[in-house]
Amino acid sequence: MSMTRARSIRVRKWWVLWGLMALSAVGFAVGSVPPYLTGDAADVPLPLNPEVALHYLSLMVHALPGGLALALGPVQFVSRLRVRRPALHRVAGRVYMISVVIASVAAAVNAAITISGFAVQVAFFILVAAWLYTLAMAYRSIRRGEVGLHRIWMIRNYALTFAAVTLRVYLLLGLQLSPSAGFEAIYTSAVWASILGNVLVAEYFIVQRTLAPLARRQRHRDTPRVSTPV
C-alpha cells in the first residue's frame, strides 16, 4: 500500500470517528440539558438527595456548562479551523475552559452529596481531579507555546468530558442486558467504566494520532537517500 493511500485511509477513519463523536456529544448535550431548565426537580433523571435542598441547583450548575463544553469539544479538534480561524479557536477554547471549571466545581459538590454510594463518590472525585488537572496542564502548555503537548492534554481532558456520554450508554446497556443486577450496581459499574474506558481510548488515540505520525516522520527523515548515478 502506498504512503498516500495509507494516509487517505487514516484521514477517512479520523473523520468517521470525529463525526460519531460530534453527533453523540451534541445530541447528548441537546437532549440532557433541557430537563435542568424546567425548574422542576421531578424532571431530573438522576436521584436527588432529599436532605439537600440545593441538590437540584447544583446539578443544574453542572449540566449547563458541562453540556456546553461537551458540544464545543469536537470543534476544537478540527485542524482546519485551528489554522484558518485561530482567533475563533482561542475564544472557543476559553469558553470551554471556563465551562469545565464551573462544571467540575459543581460536580465536586454533587459527588459530596450524592446518594448513589461511596464507590460512585470516589469515582466522581477522581474524575473531577483529573478533569481539572488535565485542563490546567493543557492551559500551561499552550501558554508556553507547546502546541503539540497542549493538544495531547486536551485530548485527555475531553475524554473525561465525554464520560458523560459513555456513562449513559453503559447504563442503558446494563439495564437492558442485566436488569436483575439492580440500578445501583449497574450505575456504579457504568460510572467507573466510562472513566477508565475513556482514559484508555484517549491514550490509544494519542499514540495513534499524535505520537505515531511523529515517529513516521522521524523515520522518514532518518532514512538515507540513495543517489542514483548519472
Model confidence over 122-153: pLDDT tens digits? 999 999 999 999 999 999 999 999 998 999 99
What is the C-alpha separation between 145 and 140, in angstroms, rounded?
9
Determine the pLDDT at residue 6.
61
Determine the pLDDT at residue 48.
80
End-to-end CA, the chain: 29
211: confidence class by pLDDT, cuts 50, 70, 90: low
Q: What b/e readout covers 33-69, taking b as 16+ CB neighbours within 10 angstroms? A: bebbeeeeeeebeeebbeebeebbebbbbbbbbbbbb
CA neighbor of 135 nearest in space, from 109, 161, 172? 161
CA-only gyration radius of the chain, Å: 21
Instruction: Decide: 70 and 28 in contact? Cβ < 8 Å.
Output: yes
What is the C-alpha separation between 204 and 183, in angstroms, rounded?
31
Q: Express each pLDDT in 157-193 by its tens digit.
A: 999 999 999 999 999 999 999 888 998 999 999 999 9
197: confidence class by pLDDT, cuts 50, 70, 90: very high
Average pLDDT over residues 88-93: 93
Determine the pLDDT at residue 228.
46
* Residue tagged 488535565 (cell numbers): 134
C-alpha cell at 24: 453523540
C-alpha cell at 26: 451534541
Residues 6+ apart with CB under 8 A from 50: none
The secondary structure of residue 181, as a DSSP letter, is G
